[in-house]
Amino acid sequence: MNTVIAIIVGYLLGSIPSAYIAGRLKKGVDIRKIGGGNMGALNVIREIGWPAGSLVLIADLSKGILAVFIARWLGLQLVWVLVAGFAAIAGHNWPIFLKFRGGKGGATIMGVLLALIPLEFLSGFVITAVVVIITSNPALGMGVGLAFIPLFIWWYSGSSLLIGYSLFLALFVIARFIISGLRKVPEGTDIKKGLIFSKEYHFWQVKKNQP
């Protein structure tokens, strides 16, 4: 019963559409219909502003953190804690409150990993930050940072279960970004353009043609 509760609570926490709420409250818009179309903190930062985007980032991180903490508080074994964490990620990506049209789950994944393996996560986050500063490309930075986390878990003598889980999450979010990006590429567009270095944004995610 505790396992079922943890998974359901994790999914419902993930389903809280913080980016959607921020868009509606701040500008009266559906964040999924402006900018990059993603229901996440980055799109809120770019289209609505850093204050609202920062709050959304904290909220989305907290969904993953709380899902893990609640599962642990219920006394579940590690494997079920991991399932509850992924339930929060699934809730963010396919929220029941918005007809299962959500985001990519990047911030919620970070929250789950921060709660599970804080030292390894922070090590990977440093790499993410460096990549973003150099390329202005948060998707690339997150993918590279997440790819290094299994190595950090191994380096710090973490369990093979956590290594496999972190690798799965890295592949999951990378696939989400790739699939979402391909769907939005107009026919005849060079998909390699901007693959490494952002052509539109500074690393603090303000458009380059803006002051």
Q: What is the mean pLDDT of each run of 10 residues along the chain (211 residues)?
A: 96 96 94 90 93 96 98 96 98 94 93 96 96 92 93 92 96 82 48 69 80 57
What pLDDT score was predicted for residue 184? 55
Q: Which two tokens stand for residue 89?
A: 């990620």
Burial of 27 (0-12, 13-18, 19+ CB in 10 A): middle
What pLDDT score was predicted for residue 206? 85
What pLDDT score was predicted for residue 194? 59
108, 133: one domain: no
Integer Cα distance of 53 and 59 in angstroms:
10
7, 106: one domain: yes
φ, ψ (nearest 5 deg) of residue 200: -110, -30
Q: Pick the last residue of a domain from 97, 116, 135.
A: 116
129, 81: one domain: no
90, 139: one domain: no
89, 127: one domain: no
Q: Pick the last residue of a domain from 116, 133, 149.
A: 116
Residues spanned by the domain of 78: 1-116
Q: Pick the last residue of a domain from 82, 116, 150.
A: 116
Q: How many domains does the chain have?
A: 2
What pLDDT score was predicted for residue 186? 44
Would you call 74 helix, strand, or coil by DSSP? Answer: coil
